[in-house]
Amino acid sequence: MSLALKIVLAFASVVLIISILLQSSNSAGLSGSIGGGAEQLFGKKKSQGYDGILSRISTVSAVLFILLSLVLVALE
């Protein structure tokens, strides 16, 4: 059972790393902070599309990673 949990933990960690690296950055530098404030409030819908899917994948894999880590520590 411990081996199966470790394999799932390794898979969750790889998915977490890949999904975080594929996400676009939130900051656009100094020019984005000055001129892009309205776009953040009224602009793009990041909850839909590619960034939204990657965000959900990151959240699920992070929760899975934390839970599996705690379970593995409790078992050993």
Q: What is the pLDDT along the chain (76 residues), one digit of tens a residue?
A: 889 999 999 999 999 999 999 988 766 555 555 555 555 555 556 567 888 899 999 999 999 999 999 999 999 8
Structure tokens at 53: 């899917």
> Per the confidence metrics, is the pTM higher than 0.75?
no
Which residue do the tokens 């309205």 mark?
A: 38
CA distances from 66 to 17, 20, 31, 74, 75 (A): 14, 16, 36, 12, 14
